[in-house]
Structure 1
Amino acid sequence: MDTRIEQYIAGSRDLVVELQRELTRRPALSPESGGGGELDKVTYLEGWLRAHGITQLERHDAPDSRVPSGIRPNLVATIPGKRDDKRLWIMSHTDVVPPGERALWNSDPWTVVDAGDRLIGRGVEDNQQGLVSSVLAALSLVQQDIVPPHTVKLLFVADEEMGSEYGIQWLLKNRSLFKSDDMVLIPDGGDPRGETIEVAEKNLLWLEIRTTGKQCHGSRPDQGANAHLAACELAVRLHDELPLRFPQRDPLFEPDRSTFEPTKHEGNVPNVNTIPGEDVFCMDMRILPCYPVQEVLAEVDRIMGEVAQKRGVRMEYRILQRVESKATSPEAPLVHLLSQAVQKVYGVTTRPIGIGGGTVGAFLRNENIDAVVWGRLEESAHQPNEYVLIANILGDATVMATLMMQER
């Protein structure tokens, strides 16, 4: 890679602090979190990029009547390459989560504290580390008139923290931005060494299960139908029997199996001596991609029917969340190219992994677009006194610039 690129990034600490400070002071909170969305932050970012030489910008605004502006902005910045095939996208998100309990912060969450080797403030790591690194990598080319072999696109999306309905999901439904041979790096997850490249996610299924029986006095269970007892039996059976029905193991994931866990339970009766006629609990299921969610739901229906008949109750579920995700092959060109770049910059040997949580990568993979999640992160996201290491911003920017300059 051109030494000018490395030198530019290494000397850009002040630029990093400036951009982090200005982005942080513009809270981009979703309406679900009591905020007005991302427009103020994206408007500033758009102007800042233009002023620094990244001028091929386009906005794709998703309508949302819940915010004052009526829109949730998504921004694309293009750095033209010598060729327009096999384009590299780097996708970060502009929204952040609320600070939480303010008493746990040692400073104003919306004012960046420069603590020498680190910056402190809400959003500085999630996802402004990846955002700023991607911008810095692009500037290292643009400001020195270096043309990458293939076109590079930076994508700044809305609404990631609340499910991406107004971000990448809206873009995939309403715009034709991506080509089949595009590659997408999502710098929104990783580890402190930068050695894991996330290529796959478990299928996600959340259920709220409601049991309706007949309330009665605790001394006369024969006169009622204990909804709580039936719900407990169902929870245990789902937990114990579904792993036997779906036993596959995959070392890409940790744990390497599908999991079926009872979680939230709502209150039923307020006193000990009443047998409840209503009961509600939730299941969090993380299912290996080899199993379609519909097959799991069929087993849930079967087991639930048996328990309902045995206990004389009515049972039904509501799907709270259902996400199925294809995988990016660990042998995909993007994985190899990123691995080479990480090795060159950090001297770290990477390994592909799968995760049980969900990322925006799932939406892209389901459109047959290769997408990976990677970063060298301290994992302080969503915590009080969230911080980012400046060395990680500069290092990740160098990895991204290396990736931009690779032939493929």
Structure 2
Amino acid sequence: MRDALLACLDRKRDMVIDLQRELTAIPALGPDNGGPGEREKADRLKTLLAGMGFPEAREINAPDPRVPCGHRPNLAVVIPGADTSRTFWIISHLDIVPPGDPALWRSDPYALVVDGDLVYGRGVEDNQQAVVSSILLGKALLEEGVTPPINYGMLFVADEETGSKYGLDYVAAHHDGLFSKDDLFLVPDFGLPTSEMVEVAEKSMLWYKITVNGRQCHASTPEAGVNSLAAASLFVLKIPKLHERFPAKNPLFQPANSTFEPTKKEANVDNINTIPGRDVFYVDCRVLPEYSLDDVVAAIQGFGREVEAACGVTIDYAVVQQEQAAPTTPEDTPIVRKVMAGIRAVYPGAKPRPMGIGGGTVAAYLRRRGYPAVVWATLEHNAHQPNERSSIAKTIGDAKVMAHVLVGE
């Protein structure tokens, strides 16, 4: 069974190119990125899958009045297995990001270019490589007449690039029995060219805006004002003390500790001879999952009270983004073990290992609902860049890893 599928996948180079060309030609931009959504791309994909003999797609449409059709389409396609109570899900997304400056592209972003093993175009890696890999495996099952041990499910979601409110978050909340606790979930939307990163954990993320209010005056009479820049500078110097409050380390992550970094600084006054009365800066916090972001906020505000007392300023706070980490997928779960075994079998010399990352992925929407999920793919790591590219060989290789997960030995 497995060998027949792998041999079939080896013959799918032309199919990779054809699918990538079809998908790249449709700019599935969400309304937050100035586009009409994913409807046209979803319809084209449904037509392509029907022509290949796949079962009919189930639509889970998230209402969104900002797009012409009034919703954001999410498609689920399932090939039944011998055990129909469980499903191996490959979850990929249909939306893309804008191309950016066209002068930085060597070709039309929406017209596929093939150069040896690489294809170029907006979306070819993020996330059409995953879309195509999942279709390749499904097509191989149909061509070879293989009934997998469990169901094989492909889920194509909307809105990954702008928050997933209308995508996987919506599907996970409104799936009506689509998922079960015994299912296997793979999200091929992050990874390294070496294939070795098997993402099972994420840090919590906090973007915090801090506004220091003093009193503006002429720089020659500082006693008439309260220098907000001096107070903000004192506050910035206190931020590294968060490492002492939250000192834990976790070897899944690199770096292994939580990070707390002052980043953006807004302009205050335009001229040199004015003491500013208002300063605004931001802090980016990536926090290990065992800590509560509410505790981090409380610690920062504690520093702020010290600055207020020392400098005579008042300080306001605003959360720009706050995302408490989802539970970690345990390393001994079947999906982690199966993915790592598949990587070793398909990519000789690769040494896959469970890892955590500092940012969020859509897998969090599954993990929060008790579904262990893995984020993994073998990517060129150039998403969102001009001249985005994807490897044909790695698209096929990733489909082979998926085959190992599905059918095993």
Tell me the TM-score normalized by structure 2.
Answer: 0.96
Q: Which residue of 2 aligns with 1:98?
A: 98
Within 5 A, what are the aligned runs for 1:147-296?
Answer: 147-176=147-176, 177-238=178-239, 240-296=240-296
Contact 1:263 1:281 in 2 (8 A): yes
Unaligned runs of 5+ in 2: none
CA distance, structure 2, for counterparts of residue 184 and residue 284 of structure 1: 30
Indicate the percent of aligned positions where both proteins have the same amino acid: 46
- Could you tell me which amino acid in structure 2 is paired with residue 361 of structure 1? A
Per-residue Cα deviation, 1:97-144 (whole angstroms, up to 9, x for no partner): 111111111100000001121101011011111110011111110232
Q: Aligned pair count?
A: 406
What CA distance in whole angstroms lies between the structure 1 residues aligned with 2:309 and 2:199? 43
Correspondence 1:370 to 2:365: no
RMSD: 1.3
Q: Secondary structure at the match of 2:74?
A: strand
Extract unaligned runs of 5+ from structure 1: none
Distance 1:10 1:218 in 2: 73
Amino acid at match of 2:364: A
TM-score (norm 1): 0.97
Q: One-letter code of the match for 1:383?
A: Q
Distance 2:250 2:2 in 1: 40
User: 1:173/1:229 Cα in 2 relative to 1: closer, same or farther (>3 Å)?
Assistant: farther
What is the 5 A alignment of 1:33-182? 33-176=33-176, 177-182=178-183
Deviation at 1:208, TM superposition (A): 1.3
How far residue 356 of structure 1 moved from its aligned partner, in angstroms, is: 0.5
C-alpha contact 2:338 2:404 (8 A) present in aligned 1: no
Contact 2:122 2:388 in 1 (8 A): yes
Q: Could you tell me whether the CA contact under 8 Å between 1:138 and 1:401 is conserved in 2?
A: no
Note if contact 1:189-1:374 (Cα within 8 Å) is conserved in structure 2. Answer: yes
For residue 160 of structure 1, give the secondary structure of its aligned residue in structure 2.
coil
Structure 2 partner of 1:323: 323
Aligned residue in 2 for 1:360: 362
Residue identity in the other structure for 1:158: A
Contact 2:2–2:408 at 8 Å: present in 1 too?
A: no
Structure 1, residues 340-387: CA drift from partner, whole Å, max 9, x if none?
111111122311111111111112111111011111111121111111
Residues 197-234 of structure 1, C-alpha deviation per residue, up to 9 Å, x if partnerless? 01000011111112222111111221112222222221
Give me the whole-angstrom Cα distance separating, in 2, the residues matched to 1:224 and 1:217. 8
The answer on whether the counterparts of 1:375 and 1:396 sit within 8 Å (CA) in structure 2 is yes
Letter of the structure 1 residue corresponding to residue 170 of structure 2: W
8 A contact 2:92–2:157 mirrored in 1: yes
Does 255-264 or 134-143 show the bigger shift? 134-143
TM-aligned CA deviation for residue 161 of structure 1: 1.0
AA aligned to 1:45 is L
